[in-house]
Structure 1
Amino acid sequence: MPARPHPSQATAFAVAWLAYFTALQWSVVRFRVAIVVVLVASALALALWQWRRARVELVPQVTAAMLAGSALATLTVPLFSYLSDSGLALASTLLVAGPLGSAALLWSGRERPALVALGTTVVTYAAAVATAVVSDPAPRIDVWVTLQQASDALARGESFYEVEWTGSPGIQDAFTYLPWTAVLLAPGRWLAGDVRWALLVWSLVAALAVWVLATRLPRGRAAQGPGPAPRWRGAAAVALLLFAPGTLTQADQAWTEPLLLAGLLWWAVLVDRGRAWWAVLPLAVACASKQHLALLLPVLLLWRPFGARRAVATGAVTGVLIAPWFLAGPSAFVHDTITLLVSFHPIRFANTLYLLALNSFGVTLPFWLTGLVALGTLAGVMVLVWRRQPGLPELLRWLALVLLVANLVNKQAFYNQFWLVGALVVASLALPREGAPAGSDGRVHESAAVSRRS
């Protein structure tokens, strides 16, 4: 069984969380050895936490300190954006005042102020993102250009894998995402002129999933156990998610990871509520949006509440979802989503071990070595999940660890990919209980009396 929570563990988590996200805010757009050290240390800390199954919970005063630290990071750490001076001043003010206000409301640990904190968080975050979109109507990044013009191509009934982009400061002739990224973000372009409005909606959809995970009714009073009240925990987790350092840059640059997080967390909601077959749908949509989520399916295949049949079904549904674009132009699709990314040159401000070796020592790590590290980590996680059959919170952190290690050995991993890892960890702390054994009927059982092995 997981160890009982201890206040020092919450404090250690707070320090690690602040160091991780503060380093990520600093990482855009610069390479520093110190940033890589922090990210590697975070991976080791997460692995140790998982291995020892230490029980960490959000604690009111510690959570308030984390939010205050986020505000301080926004004020003091270099923040990359293309916003106008007035827009940056307004957005930064919102992302300082918002966390401080939520921290004050969450300090007591009571539910009623926590509900006010939740509303404050959502409104402030939405206002900050809206400020970024209005103040920077055309960010100079190829991600935004390709998403905008892919939405236009979709409206015309054209394959965006066949389009050359106009005015892109980076990639000119490829759509490097899987097709459902464009499908799910296009309404922002069609209805409001900018895909970032859709990203704001998907960010709030992900936050709603965190709230639902935190506030679901347990199967009996004993199932919840000691700890913060559900509504307080939900408000705290949403605040940590939406006010993480670097949030403004993520919104400005149109990075798409909030879309992936929404799919993964609604998968978690449905599994947690015993509707694991329905959970195939949001997971498949997420997998049809970005390639690297395929790394997670082998882990889920071995986790009995989801299992092999549903994991295979997820792969099949993903294939159906991307088939129209593949069939419309197989060579263009493979070039844009696989060949180009494999052969793409390293970007020197990616804070990864690959770039550490290249920038500091002039060594290009061979593909077999980086692949061995990533796949070795995946294999180790698969074995541990198969043997332990952990509860949903622990499982989410195992998935985060797989993604984190894959990021660290990649030649192209930036704030947004690392943000998704931190977001999964925060979401895991929203759940009412850690480490509950998993059953084999598509539900995550809360009773400690359930056997871990079928």
Structure 2
Amino acid sequence: MRYRFAIVLVLTSAAVLLVTALLRRWRLTSMPLPVLAGTVLVSGLVAEAVPFFSHADAGDRRLLAHVVAATCLLAAAMLLVPGPRGRTLSAGVATVGVVAWTATAIALVPAPRIDVWVTLQQAADGLANGRNMYTMTWHGSPGIQDAFTYLPWTAVLLAPGRWLFGDVRWALLAAMLVGLGCLVALGRRRDRTGRTSSLALAAATMLALAPGSVTQAEQAWTEPLLFALIAAWALLVHRGHAWWAVLPLALGCASKQHLVLLLPVLACWSLFGWRRSLATAAAAGGLVLPWFLASPQDFWHDTVSLLVSFHPIKFANTWFIAAQTELGRTPPFWLTGLVVLGVLALACVVVRRRQPDLGELLGWVALVLLVANLVNKQAFYNQFWLVGSLVALAIAASPAAESPAAESPPAQASSRET
């Protein structure tokens, strides 16, 4: 929640590394135990040492930090258990930790001072009363007060958390658990053993314990919902149910605008193809249509024109803000669209030519969203977290994660693997 040029450089380095890995077709074949344990321990140290954004008071913030750090320490300790069981226990501890710190955050900060939570809560109440969220005014919002900037199914899918338990964040927790479950299932081998690959378990552990996750849980950022829907899509495709996969993807596209960037890439991939991509677009349009017909002008203002014309936010870590801050120049916004279209075209061309496996495909989708974030007027932790979740899904879905080679020492990997 603060601009630092060093953060922009790190994110840029991640983009360069990701595109290099995709173009050279690097494959992760194993996650050495010291690397995984070290990553988990570092997450715990970050939770204790680095102040994180929160609306809790100082004492409660320390309690949240302790919950996260204790989870990381226990997850690292579980890795000492010999064999595959240790990674399974570590992933289980990480998942329980997500539940623990989300519940703690909801208890300590029952009403976070952020417009996201206010709009989602009141939109759920409006849905229960048959009201249109695009014509509502938000009471007590510290930010946007007269617009619902998401597509409608964000509100619909998260409303049960408010209706049943009083807070939409419980629905976001459920979405996070569904996403983690799908991620682990992607790594389950389709042989007699039915064993889950160590790579999938490592990816689930690292994603669950990613630094900053407690802030995301407290602030009601909606990316866990998108993660769950994309993970469900990936699992259905992985299991050979590509037509059923249209449903979660359509729900995702009817929840957040930028997921439409996935469809051109998926249309070029034979295992999903243009017919299912068109079906996804049509289904998403049908899901959104009632709200558009109810008030076209309000819908267009809230979901399109307001976001396009919105002012740059100075604490976003993007190239756009870096140009303003470091160079004193404001790039033309059309340049953002040009860069995104260029990366999207690259992804489409490569996917069409290579027809890659699911893991590599998810990597290309992650790259498109990462670059779209980096060139935008605003992008924050939650949007970059979603990119990280797609990379985690890519690792879990990698063919190397299914084969016995995934458990082999790195020395046995081919020269094109890393």
Given the two structures, how large is their TM-score scaled by the length of structure 2? 0.93
Q: Which amino acid aligns with 2:255?
A: S
Matched residue SS, 2:187: helix
Cα deviation, 1:389-418, whole Å, max 9, x if unaligned, reads: 111111111100000000000001100000
Q: Report the residue type matching 1:116 in the other structure.
A: L
Per-residue CA deviations over 1:25-45 (Å, capped at 9, x if unaligned) read xxx2x1111111111111011
CA contact (8 A) 2:357 2:398 kept: no
Equivalent in the alignment of 2:241: 275
**Alpha carbons of 1:388 and 1:358: their partners in 2 closer, same or farther (altered >3 Å)?**
same
RCO higher in structure (CA 8 A, sep ≥6): 2
2:213 aligned with 1:247, yes or no? yes
2:136 corresponds, among 159, 163, 170, to: 163
Report the secondary structure of 1:345's partner residue.
coil
1:71 aligns with 2:44: yes
| Bigger mean CA deviation after superposition, 59-68 or 184-193 | 59-68
How far 1:217 sits from its partner (Å)?
1.5
Residues 109-258 of structure 1 correspond to what in structure 2 (within 5 A)?
110-218=83-191, 230=196, 232-258=198-224
Per mean C-alpha deviation after superposition, the further-off stretch among 193-202 and 360-369 is 360-369
Paired AA for residue 242 in structure 2: A
Deviation (angstroms), 1:61: 2.0
Deviations 1:267-326 (A, max 9, x none): 000000000000000000011000000001000000000001000000000001101111
Secondary structure, counterpart of 2:313 in structure 1 = coil
Aligned with 2:245: secondary structure?
Answer: helix
Quote the residue 1:335 is aligned against. 301
Aligned partners of 1:116, 1:403: CA distance in 2, in Å?
32
Q: How far 1:231 sits from its partner (Å)? A: 5.0
Q: For residue 347 of structure 2, what is the amino acid of its counterpart?
A: V
> In 2, distance between residues paired with 1:434 and 1:377?
26
Task: Select 2:286's aligned residue among 320, 323, 327.
Answer: 320
Supply the distance in 2 between the matched residues of 1:191 and 1:86 (Cα, whole angstroms).
30
- In structure 2, stretches of 5+ residues that fail to align are 403-418
Change (3 A) 1:327 1:60: same
Q: Aligned equivalents of 1:231 and 1:107: distance in 2?
A: 17
CA distance in 2, matches of 1:108, 1:117: 9
1:53 aligns to 2:25 (yes or no): yes
Matches within 5 A, 1:293-304: 293-304=259-270
1:153-173 deviation digits (Å, cap 9, x = unpaired) = 111101000001101111010
Given candidates 392, 395, 398, the residue that maps to 2:358 is: 392
Number of aligned positions between the proteins: 401
Q: 2:391 aligns with which of 409, 425, 433?
A: 425
TM-fit CA distance, 1:431? 2.6
Deviation at 1:107, TM superposition (A): 4.7
Report which stretch shifted further, 113-122 or 73-82. Answer: 113-122
CA contact (8 A) 1:393 1:434 kept: no
Is 1:95 aligned to 2:61, yes or no? no
Aligned-residue sequence identity (percent) comes to: 55
- Whether contact under 8 Å (2:358, 2:398) holds in the other structure is no
Among 58, 62, 79, the alignment partner of 1:106 is 79
Partner of 1:353: 319
Unaligned runs of 5+ in 1: 1-27, 437-454
| TM-score of the superposed pair, with normalisation by structure 1 | 0.85
The answer on whether the counterparts of 1:393 and 1:435 sit within 8 Å (CA) in structure 2 is no
Give distance in 2, aligned partners of 1:55 and 1:349. 35
Cα RMSD, aligned residues only: 1.7
Alpha carbons of structure 1 residues 374 and 109: separation in structure 2 relative to 1, 3 Å: farther
User: Deviation per CA, 1:332-367, whole angstroms, max 9, x where unpaired?
Assistant: 000000000000011000000000011222211112
